[in-house]
Chain A
Amino acid sequence: MSEALLSQKLVGDRLELTARGFWTAPHAAELEAEVNRIAGGSSGAKPTKATDVAIDMAGVRELDTFGAWLLERLTRQWTNVGRDAVVTGLPQHGADLVEEMHGVNREVPPRPEHKNPIVSFFAAVGRGTTGFAGSFHTFAQMLGETGIAAARVLFRPSEYRLTSTVHQFDRVALQAVPIILLITFLIGAIVAQQGIFHFRKFGAELYAVDLVGILVLREIGVLIVAIMVAGRSGSSYTAELGSMKMREELDALRTMGFDPVEVLVLPRIIVLIIAMPALTFLGCMSALYGGGLVAWLYGGMSPDIYIARLTDAISLTHFQVGMIKAPFMGLVIGLVACAEGLRVKGSAESLGIQTTKSVVESIFLVIVLDGLFAIFFASIGM
């Protein structure tokens, strides 16, 4: 584009501008530069010298709202200080556009408030703290609401959503089995390998079996499964409930006289409470199997010895400790996931934020809960 979009000539007190070419969106950048240059780089040097301005638009081949607005912005330089700006040679359609643009941007748009960085820092800290307290509040509220819904269902068992429960069980428990088995198998194998490798230095390889057995049954099995379930099912609960809330499905349920907690949340949480022990059991078995395989192939310990050693090392108590924790972890994951899902607001971004929060919070709470259980079991001697 060699053609200048705007050229100027000073005739006495009158500034004559001639416009040419395409005054359209694709050329808006160069056009704006030209207009700024003519307008005296906002210092207003030229407008003060020329008392009025005439703009000849006859050479303009195309004009759109971008061009029309820039023309309007140019003429306002003069009209705003009470001088004359005459525009000639506009085609009819262009004149309509310029007329339309004449009315816009008159109102000064609201300036974004400038905030004191120190104040906004403390404000952010405050909001974060209350937000943290708020999530405990929603967690407790969800626990209460679910409890009430569960009590109501106990009195009227026929109203319980069995179909939904079975469907959720398929998704949360059955479909999770392969990945849970694989992950716990690998974890069991790794723990066994590390145990054998380090215990070998002082000839205590046999104790690697104790390590695998106790660690897997008491802690690792249930923790790994809980973290997997939080990432896999907790996140999907939050996203599901969140998008249902965004599309007003929850409001629809409410107006039909259903309690969303009873219809949607309760079956999901009950499924997690049932699924967690089942998955934990499978996970523990798979981890012990993986440990045994490594002990055999890497540690040269025959399966018979491994099993005999395992029976000596572990007791029913270890198994119970792991299994007792599982349903509580399921409950915590379900409550956090559903509570965060119901907190989703209108935007896609908030769905993402709540889903992230759901996973992070439930994993955090699962680990805190595990610690509390450890203290509890230690003090009752389990």
Chain B
Amino acid sequence: MSDKTPVIKVRDLVVGFGTQTVLDHLDMDVRPSEILGVVGASGAGKSVLLRTIIGLIPRRQGSIEVLGKDLEKVDEGERRALERRWGVLFQQGALFSSLTVKQNIQFPMRENLEISQRLMNEMAYAKLEMVGLSPRDGDKFPSELSGGMTKRVALARALALDPEIVFLDEPTSGLDPISAGDFDELIRTLQQTLGITVFMVTHDLESLYTACDRIAVLADGKLAAEGPISAMLESEHPWVKTYFQGKRGSSLADRELVQ
């Protein structure tokens, strides 16, 4: 795959529920090995876009190509193969509550690879350490974890099969600023070591500044703006302007400039 071809190519996408249209003829590209942050007002359809791309929500119109394949046009086997090449971190973590942390991480391995229990254990511990947890946490159950740990375990599970794309749905929501900052850094580091593409839905301005290469702004069912943070600061779109140059946005921007 050349560096020019986008990993995710969304064209003319229309998604709606009942009489309401959430995404209205949306076009979007995600480039290889970048961290793309998707922002927008609450209810603008960020999570809907993510869930549509991974095939959880049916679309009314348009095409979505992930790694060069359209999910709706491939057969069952190819679809599973494609799904193996991405990992998803859901907003609440979505860990299986009846499995331990270790078993949660091993679940995708057990289902998709025929590897020995020893290697599975070693890989689960390796992934745990990669996301900054200790092997001792492996035998805990999800209900015993704090919010930040849940997100880290969920990330470890999303990375279990070494995917090429990772979808993150509000990875830092519900975390304190320090944990959120650590998590941003973790995503950045993992992205660099593993060379993955990250599609991140977020509300967190801090994440946009520290972690994202490019930002896409969703408004009125379309992409209102797209580009690096500097482009966002210059944008004339009213929502983008309020968001990035409002009280919270501009103080962050000043701080970035000082640094």
Contacts and interface: CB of A to CB of B under 8 A. Distances in A.
Contacts of A28: 113, 115, 119
Contacts of B135: 105, 107, 109-110
B179 interface: no
26 contacts: A24-B162, A25-B161, A25-B162, A28-B115, A28-B119, A29-B115, A29-B116, A64-B162, A65-B162, A66-B119, A69-B123, A69-B126, A73-B122, A93-B193, A93-B195, A100-B193, A101-B126, A103-B129, A104-B129, A105-B122, A105-B125, A107-B135, A109-B125, A109-B138, A112-B139, A347-B141
A125 interface: no
B13 to A, nearest CB: 30
B117 to A, nearest CB: 11
- Is chain B's binding surface mostly helix, strand, loop or mixed? helix
Interface in A107-121: 107, 109-110, 112
Given A29-B113, A100-B130, A346-B143, A109 B194 contact: no
A348 B123 contact: no
A25 B162 CA distance: 7
Contact of A347 (B129, B134, B136, B142): B142
Contacts of B52: none
Contacts of B193: 93, 96-97, 100
Interface string A60-79: 00001110011001000000
A97 B127 CA distance: 12
A70 B194 CA distance: 16
Given A109-B138, A110-B139, A349-B97, A104 B194 contact: no
A112 B122 CA distance: 15
B121 interface: yes
A347 B143 contact: yes
Nearest to B120: A28
Given A29-B113, A66-B162, A349-B97, A105 B139 contact: no
A206 to B, nearest CB: 58
Contacts, number: 79
Interface string B188-205: 000011110000000000
B107 to A, nearest CB: 14
A56 interface: no
A65 B139 contact: no
A240 interface: no
Given A346-B141, A347-B143, A104 B126 contact: yes
A201 to B, nearest CB: 56
Contacts of A25: 109, 112-113, 161-162
A354 to B, nearest CB: 14
A349 B141 CA distance: 12
A349 B98 contact: yes
Interface residues of A, number: 29
A82 interface: no
B142 A346 contact: yes
B114 interface: yes
Interface string A84-97: 00000000010011
Nearest to A346: B143
A89 to B, nearest CB: 18
A347 B97 contact: yes
A361 interface: no
Contacts of B123: 65-66, 69
Interface string A1-44: 00000000000000000000000111011001000000000000
Contacts of B115: 28-29, 32
A345 interface: yes
Contacts of A97: 193-194
Contact of A110 (B122, B136, B142): B136
A346 B143 CA distance: 5
Nearest to A349: B98
Nearest to A109: B135
Contacts of B122: 69, 73, 105
Given A65-B123, A112-B139, A347-B141, 10 more contacts: A32-B116, A66-B119, A69-B123, A73-B122, A97-B194, A107-B135, A109-B135, A110-B135, A346-B144, A347-B143
Contacts of B129: 103-105
Nearest to A103: B129
B152 to A, nearest CB: 15
Nearest to B97: A347
Given A25-B161, A28-B113, A346 B97 contact: yes
Contacts of B138: 109
A28 B114 CA distance: 8
A96 B134 contact: no
B125 A348 contact: no
Interface in B156-184: 159, 161-162
A347 B98 contact: yes
Given A65-B123, A66-B123, A69-B123, A348 B98 contact: yes
B121 A109 contact: yes
Interface in B86-131: 97-98, 109, 112-116, 119, 121-123, 125-127, 129-130
A40 to B, nearest CB: 16
Contacts of B125: 104-105, 109
A64 B143 contact: no
Interface centre among A28, A69, A97, A107 (most CB of B within 10 A): A28
A26 B29 CA distance: 28
Contacts of A109: 121, 125, 135-136, 138
A3 B245 CA distance: 57
Nearest to A72: B126
A155 B115 CA distance: 67
A348 B134 contact: no
Given A97-B194, A346-B97, A347-B98, A29 B114 contact: yes
- Nearest 6 A-B pairs (CB), nearest first? A346-B143, A347-B97, A349-B98, A64-B162, A104-B126, A109-B135
